[in-house]
Amino acid sequence: MFLINCPFCGERDQSEFSSGGEAHIVRPKQPTELSDDEWAEYLFMRKNIKGIQFERWNHVHGCRKWFNVVRDTSNDKILSVYKMGEKPPVNYK
């Protein structure tokens, strides 16, 4: 059971959050210009990394804010949290 450091509320139990999958997948600005394959890439394809992964979490039973988390999926350690719109910490790139 993770302890997640919500950038707005502080450390809270995982049960207050819901996971939103991979982060930094930007919705295409002009979806109509995309081929089926390009759209499918955006819609369905996810990396599912073993190791350092950037992902989105929602403090759904708290402040309702979405934010980003850097997590090592091999040991579940959360290495960093940052707000939407902020640049991911470079040291984990």
Site for other proteins in 15-74 (CB under 8 A): 18, 20, 26-28, 30-32, 34, 36, 39-40, 43, 56, 58, 60, 64-66
Q: Which of 56, 65, 47 is nearest to 10 (CA)?
A: 65
Closest separation between CB of residue 4 and Zn ion, Å?
9
Composition of the chain by helix, strand, coil, percent to 5? 20, 35, 45
Closest separation between CB of residue 25 and Zn ion, Å?
22
Q: Does 60 bind Zn ion (CB under 5 A)?
A: no
Show the DSSP H helices in the chain as ranges: 36-44
CB under 5 to 8 A by kind: which of Zn ion, other proteins, none does 66 bind? Answer: other proteins
Closest separation between CB of residue 61 and other proteins, Å?
10
Locus of tokens 């939407």: 84
Which residue(s) pair with 19 in the sheet?
Answer: 57
For residue 92, which amino acid is it?
A: Y
Q: Does 10 bind other proteins (CB under 8 A)?
A: no
